[in-house]
Structure 1
């Protein structure tokens, strides 16, 4: 066991190694394609972002079993606390799982995994822990389900559910091998969020943290009698109308239910035999989950390690001696200590009586690293940043060496301004900053995101107003918002639903004091373009360029023209003086889903998961420059540095593209 936490210097060294429709004027709607040109050079710079991140961890005896996140293939590793080594690595389908459950005998470890198109499954599997290498057994395919909750009952049944239309509670019986759908607790809620199975009951928490529509129901708490299948709502009145019931625990006949009120996260402490009898303990945290009991204290993941003293009802935050826990995906009690499994690839053992902690580095212990799906990219003269999951890779262009920046959760977009990288961080993490000259491994928080506006899409610089502008989506309420941040004084503003109640702000560009907003809804059936005054927070004009909207995913301005890329390749050029569409085309062959745009030195370029292209500034015809076949998690982008060199993702590697301007 290591004596004390990993230092910032050690982390840096480890990171370096682990590294409405308008009439269209102008050209017809065709896939205009110019002849390819020479003068394109590509250099492979290696994996874009490499890590062993994780999203689930549970104890089995003196072992911790931990599931990786956003590396291919997904792995479930076994870490032995006695030897401080990873003793098993089992490959699974998909790219990650949040769900692990062990049977009462500790022999089988179950997991429910989303069946992605790239790794179709089967998604319900188990590992035999009685065998040294913990081999995987495929049990059932679960297409269409994004799993979010799993629980094993004392009589060895496995229950799970998640996000899908009319989310269903499923039961797996190991004795028969049968998987059955046994209940739909609420047909109008997007997801089953948490589960807890006992010998005779199942507690079901539901919510709308993802996939919400204006008609969705939200937080729910139900108890199902396993014998009769009768379902009863036991939701505390204070949680009515909130986003979700996040988690539930049961200790000594008492339920601990985690949700929120208007004042922040709260815990309802309920009599399991008479759920109408409860007390509410209020916290200032954004959320609480993973309730674990140790004597008179409860411990939670609350975007930090949170302790609740039951006898006094008081909360406190416990921090590691160095750095940050980051996202906590595993939490349990072991020998009177609190075990915290961090998505940074670390395990902490915290002594709550003294506040001291000990830590293990999973990569050093033998956890296999791998290139992640990239989420964002930005470049300046000296550095290229590639955002991933709980990690951002900084590629030093002078030395060629990558290092790791520890940024909690997901860097959905990155803005480089005056040598500082600014990360628009999901899920509701906020606006983070990192400067390699003054920061070590961890980022700094500059601002919170607006309430309920949890998913950033794009961050850009408004040179006229000297503001950062961030387009956001609300997973909870639908719609989205536009946020500004003034780096001079730290002031923020927000305009909620500047397009409408249904459309997120998928794309943003700032030009000459005007911010242009590209909208899309979760069904990809909306795509409104809005010109917006970010200072007065008012609309200047709007249009919907597509006759059958699919959503706007890329915007840029060159001269007097606003370029618009839509989902699956519809492409428009708008004259900003006349506010008329002067060119339209479809570039679906190179924009199979999301496409984005950027302007540099008199040209407009486009990036998708398929290709990196250029558009002629006079005819708007497309020249295909580089085939990418990029593995992206989200919206594919490219970046350009001050020298005019482009950076993109090909497969999972970072590449530099030098393009002749002739």
Structure 2
């Protein structure tokens, strides 16, 4: 998020110039200079938890109880929601990882298995088992897959457990847990070009492994792939329906009697649904849906029910017709769907359980917080502020903090508000995944709504800033499935929008955006192992064309983390603490430094009261406008972020960021002249 003083459009035209101007030789990285020894005045106000909710990422019905896995909460936990009483009746704390995406139950209904997303918990279990006959006893860690994150679990009829998932930089494997021996075994990597596996299903004889490139796509990564693993022979065979091969990933699998139901996540095309004959996998039918993703497959006889990003649907395997399932309200992002006795049980990312009677169409909704689920602070996403409100993004929600009376209101918005801006009291967000731009006007009440859609493969907005010269919102974006990224532009006054695909190059996403005199400055980052990273591009957001670019010195080519503008200087941080300053009038790097001590990884920056501030996972800091020396403002701020730190400023220049799980306001008065 970057704020800039408005300057006339005329000056934009004067700053044009030849395309592709390269940077002159830059100074070597040096240790950070020290700022003045005089102490500034810094006041910190704790505004309470950034966003509190019971956020969830998985659900599975066993008998009359729905088991629900938490998302981005500490500690991780599974709770049991009893349908007859509509109460949370028990829960178990897993304690490692940050989210639970995978749940499965053994054929007897006794053991519930849970797989976690385990970033930051290397060496600790990521596979757990809970004995449902004694729910008062906690789940126990039973093993770990080398693929750090478990995305899906399946239990074969004989009780053998299979797990799939992934870890950045490695192709995903199929893993097996044997309850008899207690061992976790790697069974092989069927697709060496896949980046993530999200679906697994098992029969007596075969395990089905679904993978692709939902994350870290491009650079030769595989698209949707389906493999059949012969349990007796220990071999894999590719059984992917050709009609699904253009989609980025297999999304879900379920065995229904003598058939295998398969779904994909879409990107440049809508998601697909296939029904395959288990006795002859070459015999199948494929149907194209209207959604970007098809998941949570469940069945009632010849009817398959499923969720998409647009709601609930049913598919008749007899007529091959897709029909909507009626629901009076907004189900949001669905993480659980089961059919029992004519009732669909839906678990929404909005934190509720919906029960839909398919015969009558009537439904009952139970808020999990009111039913006894723990409402606790969640790790956060983007932050935006004005004179009245501060907004903090979470999963499927945005918390609105009222600065006048201290009240907090949770708003509903599907996915994740990765970053945001407030203009004239109206909130604008970049919404992950493939949700485009959303908006909320507190004077009108209601809930946030989608303002503008953009190409669905450009799914991960990362940085939002406002270009006051051209009156445009600018959004830097990553394409998870195709590689590269884009710059979105949106004019709040006219509603005009544009998307400029791969403005840096085919591999580099746009991680950071800053603006000056009507020119957008794009910071490239490259998650692949091939090609350049950290390229800076000056871009005309009205004409949609490059003005010039700079390739950073070799010591700084670890990918851009954040950009900010102060006067004629463009400040930048890399993802490994490298710091640089570009003089925009001569288009040359004039200063570099190594700031890993305060900025070991991802970062964000904002310009406030004539000073550029930065925040990392550990520290809030500022840069001296004359010497570019770094000074710590708040040490050990250690914000509880999910997808990288953020900092914003209100109209008075007060800063807002996270300290732990709490939102804090920082009023910083640097000493005169610094």
TM-score with structure 1 length normalisation? 0.93
How far 1:486 sits from its partner (Å)? Answer: 2.3
Candidates 438, 454, 459, aligned match of 2:444: 438
Paired residues of 2:477 and 2:509 also in contact (CA < 8 A): yes
Partner of residue 156, structure 2: 153
Determine the C-alpha separation between the residues in 2 that align with 1:564 and 1:105.
Answer: 57
Which of these residues, 652, 660, 666, is aligned with residue 651 of structure 1? 660
| SS, match of residue 578 in structure 1 | coil
Match of 2:323 among 301, 313, 316: 316
| Residue of structure 1 aligned with 2:379, choices 352, 360, 373 | 373
TM-aligned CA distance change 1:404 to 1:120, over 3 Å: farther
Q: Secondary structure at the match of 1:159?
A: strand
Q: 1:172 and 2:177 equivalent? A: yes
Select 1:612's aligned residue among 612, 617, 620: 620
Structure 1 CA distance for aligned equivalents of residues 47 and 598 of structure 2 = 23
The CA deviation at 1:85 is 1.4
Most deviating of 45-54 and 182-191: 182-191
Partner of 1:623: 631
Q: Give the C-alpha shift of residue 594 in structure 1.
A: 1.3
Q: Write the distance in 2 (CA, Å) between the matches of 1:608 and 1:491.
A: 34
Q: 2:61 aligns with which of 59, 69, 74?
A: 59
Distance 1:616 1:238, change over 3 A: same
Whether the 8 Å CA contact 1:263–1:284 is kept in 2: the answer is no
1:250 and 2:255 are equivalent in the alignment: yes
User: 2: CA distance between counterparts of 1:620 and 1:233?
Assistant: 56
CA contact (8 A) 1:24 1:583 kept: no
Partner of 1:636: 645
Match of 2:145 in 1: 142
Does 1:568 pair with 2:573?
Answer: no
Please name the residue that 2:48 is paired with: 46
Whole-angstrom CA distance in 1 between matches of 2:121 and 2:107: 33
Using the alignment, how far apart are the partners of 1:461 and 1:110 within structure 2? 46
Query: In 2, distance between residues paired with 1:279 and 1:321?
Result: 31
Over aligned residue pairs, what C-alpha RMSD do you find? 1.9
Please report how far the alpha carbon of residue 36 of structure 1 lies from its aligned counterpart in structure 2 after TM superposition: 5.7
Please give the per-residue CA displacement for 1:67-104, whole angstroms capped at 9, x wherever unaligned: 11011001110111122211112111111110011111
Matches of 1:245 and 1:356 in 2, distance apart? 33
Moved >6 Å (runs of 4+): none
Secondary structure in 1 matching 2:328: coil
| Counterpart-to-counterpart distance in 2, 1:331 and 1:256 | 15
What SS does the corresponding residue of 1:510 show, helix, strand or coil?
A: strand
Q: Do 1:115 and 1:144's aligned partners in 2 also have CA atoms closer than 8 Å?
A: no
Q: Secondary structure at the match of 2:99?
A: coil
Q: Note if 1:349 corresponds to 2:358.
A: no
Find the aligned partners of 1:341 and 1:483 in 2 and give their Cα distance. 33
Please give the secondary structure, in 2, of the residue aligned with 1:238: helix
Instruction: Return the alpha-carbon distance in structure 1 between the equivalents of residues 269 and 457 of structure 2.
Output: 13
> Matches of residues 355-366 of structure 1 in structure 2 within 5 Å?
355-366=361-372
**Structure 1: distance between partners of 2:374 and 2:159:** 31
Residues 181-580 of structure 1 mapped to structure 2, 5 A cutoff: 181-259=186-264, 263-303=269-309, 304-318=311-325, 320-322=327-329, 324-440=330-446, 442-523=447-528, 526-548=533-555, 549-580=557-588
SS of the aligned residue for 2:596 comes to coil
1:123 and 1:141 in contact (8 A); partners too: yes
Tell me how far 1:294 sits from its aligned partner: 2.1
1:250-300: per-residue Cα shift (whole Å, max 9, x none)? 223122221267651221222221122222222211111122222443211
Residue 104 of structure 1 is matched in structure 2 by 107
Does the CA contact (< 8 Å) of 1:115 and 1:142 recur in 2?
Answer: no
TM-score by length of 2: 0.92
Query: Are the aligned partners of 2:203 and 2:255 in contact in 1 as well (CA < 8 Å)?
Result: no
Say if 1:21 and 1:547, in contact at 8 Å, map to a contact too.
no
| CA spacing shift, 1:279–1:531, aligned 2, 3 Å | same
Using the TM superposition, give the Cα deviation of residue 213 of structure 1 relative to its aligned residue in structure 2, in angstroms: 4.1
Q: Deviations over 1:305-329 (max 9, x none)?
A: 122244443333345323x111111
Structure 1 residue 593 displacement after superposition:
0.6
Match of 1:13 in 2: none
Cα gap change, 1:126/1:36 in structure 2, threshold over 3 Å: closer, same or farther?
farther
Quote how far apart the aligned CAs of 1:196 are.
Answer: 0.7
- CA–CA distance in structure 1, aligned partners of residues 445 and 595 of structure 2: 42
Q: CA deviation at 1:212?
A: 2.5
Q: Which sections of structure 2, spanning at least 5 residues, go unmatched?
A: 1-20
Q: How far apart, CA to CA, are the structure 2 residues paired with 1:236 and 1:54?
A: 32
Give the Cα–Cα distance (whole angstroms) in 2 for the partners of residues 180 and 372 of structure 1: 33
> What is the CA–CA distance in structure 2 between the aligned matches of 1:375 and 1:263, rounded to whole Å?
28
Give the SS at the match of 1:599. strand
In 1, distance between residues paired with 2:323 and 2:558? 46
Distance in 2 between the 1:249 and 1:103 partners? 15
Q: 2:130 aligns with which of 127, 140, 144?
A: 127
Change (3 A) 1:232 1:469: same
Unaligned runs of 5+ in 1: 1-19
